[in-house]
Structure 1
Amino acid sequence: MPLFLRSLPLAGLLAAGLAAPMAYAANDSGTAADGLSTAIFAGGCFWCMEPPYDRQPGVTSTTSGYIGGELENPGYDDVSRGGTGHAEAVKITYDPDAIDYAELLDIFWRNVDPFAEDRQFCDSGPQYRSAIFYQDERQRELAEASLAEMQERFDQPIATELSSAGAFWDAEDYHQNYYEKNPLRYKFYRFRCGRDDRLEEIWGDEAGGPTFD
């Protein structure tokens, strides 16, 4: 979230929603309870990465959080200042019988600027980098193949990071499903950040990604 939004009157929201981040230890198989699987992607502001997945059949939940750094139990203030190594990210819990990891990758690419290094749209710094955090060998292979496809498609070098997932720390409650809790502020932020214009410039009609049946 850029600094201009931090000046908005969010004090009441913050006071109501501040909670200690929860740690999610990504395992070696990317599996969750009840036969579900998980995927972790970073695409700049995590507010904007939840909606494209929440509308997908087969996705059961999305969780905003922090990953990729060494500081334990990081909070938004820690990560947004930079220097912790974390990226804002979203953890997707999904039914692999209904939607495949490769399809989640297709959605990821079409919601990021893959050429931007250590930034996304109006948000600057490595905490806003685009990244795929794979959790097992299958995810790694699919992510590498997907990256190669993007590199073949575009003339510009792809800046998106591929990394093995470590601990994922849930963001504070007020960040979860922000676009539903605060739709006007979310739309204002997204518009001011130029996210949709840039996605359309890169992806055309593919911007935002498909919704799979």
Structure 2
Amino acid sequence: MIVPSSWLEADALWCALWALADDYAVEWGVERPERDVTASPLDGFNPEANIEAVWFVTEMLVKYVQASVPDVFSRVQGAIRAVQYVSAMQTALARYPSDDAPQKAHFVRCRACKQMTLRRRPPLEYQDPIVVECTNEECGELWDPRLVDFDLKILRTSIVEAAAERARAVKERVRAESRARIKAAKAVVRAAEKAADALAEEASTNEERRNA
């Protein structure tokens, strides 16, 4: 099953909140927060859990932390974890609004109509699939997101290869220009040497004539 990135973010946030609560319990020597098989401190929510179970275990953890807020903030480690969690939560809320909105699939063409009209449609209900749909009214095809991701991968590969080819061409041109400059410089040196030899020979000949 393809898991939306927002669900993975929810796993990470729950694990961070659990770490905050667990640190508090250990440091203050109080009872640790309750949890069940719905969530793991390492992996987050169980993929098989339904939305009601996720809501319940999250609500238990939130209530535990809310009741302990003054003590959590009174220790350095707890305050640091709390600030980190709030920052991560604010980022997640900005990145993932309460309702996932359809997003344009950039840079990829529809395989049917060849237009840049693909849009990712988020799941409308729990465990609904993510679908990529073509918004071209004359097309309207639906695609598996993995096909779109594959096309994106091919596009990225072609861009990287083209950039590498351009870099090789530039490097070869620079080398050719450098070789041409060296060749021209050598030609100038040889011409100067020939001119110097000719002048020396002429001077020698003139000297011999004067001595004769």
**TM-score of the aligned structures, taking structure 1 as reference length:** 0.26
Higher relative contact order at CA 8 Å, sep ≥6: structure 1 or structure 2?
1
Query: Which one has a larger percent strand, Structure 1 or Structure 2?
Result: 1
Rg: which structure is higher?
2
